[in-house]
Structure 1
Amino acid sequence: MANAELAARVGLTASPCLRRVRQLEAAGVIRGYRALLDYNSLNCELQAFVTLVMHREDRSNVERFEHEVAQLPPVIEAHRLFGDPDYLLRVAVHDVQAYERFYSEVLCDLPGVVQVTSHLIMKEVKQDRGIPTGSGQ
């Protein structure tokens, strides 16, 4: 959104609004900006949430696992969870055959993984729009 539009929405003039945005960026509250992409246009027509259970969660195993997951381009999000399962990944690939290859050749071979469960996405009901700010937005 342009600074002028943001300023109008929050009831400021452009200069103070821009100054506040720059302060939020400097403080790390605003960590960056991103484009919302159409996965189908990028040849990533299949998405899955994948849960993983680890056999051992010692420090070196966890660090190695997390390092390897962070390097995998099909993994677009990765979260470590409390309890079972241990990890939740969001994966985007071209089709079910590409997912099957990724599942059997990569996910199942990650260090320390004892169980992999896939949840293929049928339909996106609500798109990630970031953290809501303000009232009713």
Structure 2
Amino acid sequence: MPQKSVSLDAIDLKILEALQADGRMPLAKLGELVGLSPSPCLRRIRILEAAGVIARYVAVLDQRKVGLPISVFASIKLERQEEQALNRFAKAVSRWPEVLECYLMTGQRDYLLRIVVEDLSAYERFLKEKLTRHAGIASIESSFALEQVKYTNALPLD
């Protein structure tokens, strides 16, 4: 079921942009940045959280500095594109911590995965012990990222 869009005004957008840049920004600084005192600013944040616009707060880690420098993009084609097979694959992927992102796709492939690992041997283990053991996969095409040109988790709100 599609989620209902939330109506955001200019101040809400400023709050969201600031929190995307720094989720730990002190309330006083955030309020000053958006032109509100801390109390109304906090009230707006709580409304955005309750509406699900702010889904959660996280620390963004540098994958290289935590020993996971390899990003692999795997295109997966399933043998059958039936709802049950799609759900079974999605459930399996959700249990694999190496998979940071998984998208159901249109086109020639059914899924696109972003997988992070420490080295090529770790990817080989992931492939042999997890991915290829999942019943219903027709093919897997892996592409290794050579360089990360851009990465952001901030949505373009302007």
TM-score (norm 2): 0.79
Alignment of 1:1-137 (within 5 A): 1-133=25-157, 135=158
Give runs of ≥4 in structure 1 deviating > 6 Å: none
Counterpart amino acid of 1:53?
A: K
- Listed one character per residue, the Cα deviations across residues 60-81 of structure 1 (whole Å, up to 9, x for unaligned) are 2112111111101111111111
5+ residue gaps, structure 2, are 1-24
> Counterparts of 2:108 and 2:68 in 1: how far apart (Å)?
28
Please provide the CA RMSD for this pair: 1.4
Identity %: 39
Q: Which amino acid in the other structure matches residue 30 of structure 2?
A: L
- SS in structure 1 at match of 2:47: helix
Stretch deviating more after TM superposition (102-111 or 76-85):
102-111
Deviations along 1:35-68, whole A, 9 cap, x unmatched? 1101122221211111101110112211211111
Equivalent residue letter for 1:66: A
